[in-house]
Chain A
Amino acid sequence: MERIAAWHVTIGTARGAAHHASGLPNQDAAAYQTGPDRAVAVAIADGHGHARHFRSAAGSALAVGVACRAATQVAVGLSEGRAEPTAAVRDELTRAIVTNWRTAVASDLAVQPYTAREQSALDLAGDSREVPYGSTLLVTAISGHWLVCAQIGDGDLLGVCPDGDVFYPVAADDLLDGCRTTSLCQPDAAALFRTGAHDLREVPLLVLLHATDGYGNAQAEEPWQPGVGRDLAELAAEHDHHWFEQQVPSWAQRCASADGSGDDVTIALLLRADAATMKQDHARRDS
């Protein structure tokens, strides 16, 4: 009988030093949800900092909520053997996320409508009612031996193998130039998602790093991913998830500081519960 791995989720988030200086809140958000048979869904989101997106903190919070629920549905389907994470399944996931996020924005607006001045600014700019809530989103689900990922906008998803090698669960997006990003608030948001599915029997995943762009923008090394992957694999072999729960928030804090990117930083780590054993097994096989 196939053994299903268990996963621990560790989240750290910090308000950027530049946001602190300019009076902006932490506009990132993160959430996770567990399902049957050790299924787990994780989502992080980065609300856009520009004044045009003046409700982006709410937008990112709504995004991680709807994303976790939608991804858990996919995970449940996978655990019950009803579906493979085909492109059609992933498209269904992203459509559900966008539809539910817009519904959630509408509900939020019903409670807190735009002021006349805000509405006037929207009309002048020709912005839709979703634009002030603009946010990126990275969401993953692990169910059985499947890893399913979807991302819109900037930020980083990084898979780490037991030997420290890294892989990128979704393709890069040439549209992202470091200043502008694709967003949930765009009319064609569902089409702007990048998705991926990976069979974990073929890809030995030890750690999955989710990070908003403030994390990567703080890294001095270029490219930073190989070094981070190598170190995460070593740390996962040396420490359990309790240690990561203590450390990850401080990593976010340092990256968000004026010594780093100064931007909001959110890190979510998915760590295999038997990471140390997995790495030892892998090392034994290699030797």
Chain B
Amino acid sequence: MTTSGSGWPYAQGRDHPGPGAAGMTEVVPYSRMPGGGIARRPLHFIILADCSGGMKGEKIQALNYAIADMMPHLAAWERDQEQAQVFIRAIAFATEPRWHIQDPQPVAGLRWRPLQPVAKGLTNMGPAFAMAAEALAPGRIERRALRPALLLITDGMATDLPGGFEAGLTALMSQPAGKAALRLSIAIGCDAQSAALDRFIGDPSVPVLVADSTEDIADRLVAVSLAVSRMSEAGADRSALARRLFGRPDDVPAGIFNQDTII
């Protein structure tokens, strides 16, 4: 995606293939441009996946399948739009969180490595939020990055020790990028929908997406990938987008979808 800025006198590019390109009878020289080249703006998408003991079996299989299936959708969107390059990271959390994908990976060509449940693992969300917060700290992501997206997927209530959930959420919200992030959540099974997930999202216009069955997980991830893909569009009516994706009524406040404007 990066094109050379100082690739004097020629540089490869979409419109000007450069010297030796097939079918070219005339080579159009790029001017020398100051700086170290150009690139699309990064859009960081961090998945926080519940790998507690309760996820074993059909749930984790369905989740792995659905995430793997979501990647080509995001990659196709990335190819079709004009602004963002999507980078994926993933945190697998149970009693403790760990990076499943630590370094941002371009979504194009990403092969999803299946998550594994942790036997008897709990659903401690706070430490996972804190881990994501560290990754979003100033200096850890590009200043020019688009607002990141965070997706929390869980099948159960948070089992954090008292104060643990709040501490992690506070750490996340204390980072400008964490606060500005599009935060989405998928609850696998009705039991998983909780006030905790609403607090993670932090916006009443964005509901928890409930997957009543494992078959629903893929559908909910499609909605998530659409939300992620649309969030960077300049001039997008984010309120209308929320209504379309999540089926909210017209009078729902726009919240996070309406922030690319004046302070």
B36 touches A224 (CB 8 A): yes
Residues of B within 8 A of A260 (CB): 38-40
- Residues on A with C-beta less than 8 A from B162 are none
Q: Does A218 sit at the interface, judged by CB under 8 A?
A: yes
| CB pair A261 B40 closer than 8 Å | yes
Evaluate whether A22 and B235 lie within 8 angstroms (CB atoms) in the complex, with A258-B14, A259-B40 already known: yes
Q: Which residue of B lies closest to A238 (CB)?
A: B32
Give every chain B residue within 8 A of A183 (Cβ-Cβ).
262-263
User: Which of A22, A235, A261 is the one whose CB lies under 8 Å from B233?
Assistant: A22
Are A220 and B38 neighbours in the complex by a CB distance under 8 Å? yes
Give the interface SS of chain B, mostly helix, strand, loop or mixed: loop
Which B residues, 1 to 20, have Cβ-Cβ distances below 8 Å to chain A?
Answer: 1-3, 5-6, 13-15
Give the size of the chain A interface in residues (CB under 8 angstroms): 56
A21 / chain B contacts, CB cutoff of 8 Å: 81-82
Given the complex, which residues of B lie within 8 Å of A182, measured CB to CB?
A: 262-263
Residue tally, chain B, CB below 8 Å to A:
43
A101-137 interface bits toward B, Cβ cutoff 8 Å, 1 = contact, 0 = none: 0000000000000000000000000000001001000
Given A247-B31, A258-B14, A19-B38 contact (CB < 8 Å): no
Binary B-proximity of A180-212 (CB < 8 A = 1, otherwise 0)? 111101100000000000000000000000000
Q: Is the CB of A49 within 8 A of B263?
A: no
Min CB gap A44→B, angstroms: 17
Task: Please name the residue on chain B nearest to A244 by beta carbon.
Answer: B31
Q: Are B1 and A259 in contact (CB-based, < 8 A)?
A: yes
Q: Are A228 and B35 in contact (CB under 8 A)?
A: yes
Q: Are A24 and B37 in contact (CB under 8 A)?
A: no
Q: Quick one: closest B residue to A192, CB to CB?
A: B263
A220-B37, A227-B34, A254-B33 as given contacts; A259 in contact with B234, CB under 8 Å: no
The 0/1 profile, CB within 8 Å of A marked 1, for residues 31-71 of chain B is 11111111111000000000000000000000000000000
Say whether A231 faces chain B, with CB atoms less than 8 Å apart: yes
Query: Which of A34-42, A71-79, A143-151, A171-179 forms part of the interface with chain B?
Result: A171-179
Quote the shortest CB–CB distance from B30 to chain A (angstroms): 8
Given A22-B233, A53-B261, are A178 and B144 neighbors across the interface (CB < 8 Å)?
yes
Q: How far is the CB of A148 from chain B (nearest CB, A)?
A: 25
Say if the beta carbon of B114 comes within 8 Å of chain A.
Answer: no
B180 close to A (CB within 8 Å): yes
- Interface residue? A48 (CB, 8 A): yes
B-contact 0/1 string along A221-259, CB 8 Å cutoff: 111100111111001000000000011001100110111
Distance between A171 CB and nearest chain B CB, rounded to angstroms: 16
Cross-interface CB contact of A180 among B6, B14, B235, B261, cutoff 8 Å: B261
CB–CB B234/A219 < 8 A: no
Asked if A20 and B36 sit within 8 Å, CB to CB, the answer is no
Is there an interface contact between A186 and B262, defined as CB atoms closer than 8 Å?
yes
Interface flags for A12-38 (1: CB within 8 Å of B; 0: not) read: 000011111110100000000000000
Which of B2, B5, B145 sits near A178, CB closer than 8 Å?
B145
**Residue numbers in A under 8 Å from B35 (CB-CB):** 219-221, 224, 227-228, 231
B16 to chain A, nearest CB (A): 10
Cα distance, A104 to B259, chains bound together (Å): 27
Q: How far is the CB of B79 from chain A (nearest CB, A)?
A: 10
Given contacts A178-B144, A186-B262, contact A262 B83 (CB under 8 A): yes
Which residues of B are found within 8 Å of A8, using beta-carbon distances? none
B226-263, CB under 8 A of A: which get 1 and which 0?
00000001111100000000000000000000111111
Judge whether B142 is part of the interface by a CB distance below 8 angstroms.
yes
B80 closest partner in A (C-beta): A21
A51 touching B237 in the complex, CB below 8 Å, given contacts A251-B33, A263-B83: yes
B14 near A261 with CB under 8 A, answer: no
The verdict on B111 contacting chain A, using a C-beta distance below 8 Å, is: no
Beyond A50-B260, A220-B2, A250-B33, 6 extra complex contacts between A and B, CB < 8 Å: A22-B235, A24-B234, A177-B176, A219-B36, A227-B34, A259-B40
Query: What residues make up the interface of B, taking CB atoms closer than 8 Å to A?
Result: 1-3, 5-6, 13-15, 30-41, 81-84, 142-147, 176, 180, 233-237, 258-263
List 11 A–B pairs whose Cβ atoms lie within 8 Å, in order of A's numbering. Answer: A16-B234, A20-B82, A22-B235, A134-B261, A177-B180, A178-B144, A228-B34, A251-B33, A254-B38, A258-B14, A259-B2
